[in-house]
Amino acid sequence: MSCWTADPTLLPRLTAMLQGGASASEVAKALKLSRNQVIGKAQRMGLALRHEGLRRTSEPRRRARVAKVDKPVDPAPYSMRAPSSPRRFSWEAPTP
């Protein structure tokens, strides 16, 4: 049984809330349904949903401060040279 047919007062309340300008999240909380159920039913009924865009904060975020370095970093304690003997690789199996 569908949640929409179980309670006959849901559809009139849904249409009244959406026509009154409530968002899908607000309607879902009030009717104790999921937001997806509310959006799906409203689309099937042809009702307009209020756009729930991202809200900007009132003040912009500050950039993170970068620490100033007094002296350069010491080089790595090991050398980055190539190995003294190259590896030998063969596609053939080694002979015993």
DSSP states of 6-75: H-TTHHHHHHHHHHTT--HHHHHHHHT--HHHHHHHHHHHTPPPPP-PPPPPSSPPPPPPPPPPSSPPPP
Q: Is the pTM of this model over 0.85?
A: no
- What would the pLDDT profile of 68-80 be if each residue is shown by its tens digit? 777 766 666 665 5
- What would the pLDDT profile of 27-70 be if each residue is shown by its tens digit? 999 999 999 999 999 989 888 887 766 666 667 777 777 777 77
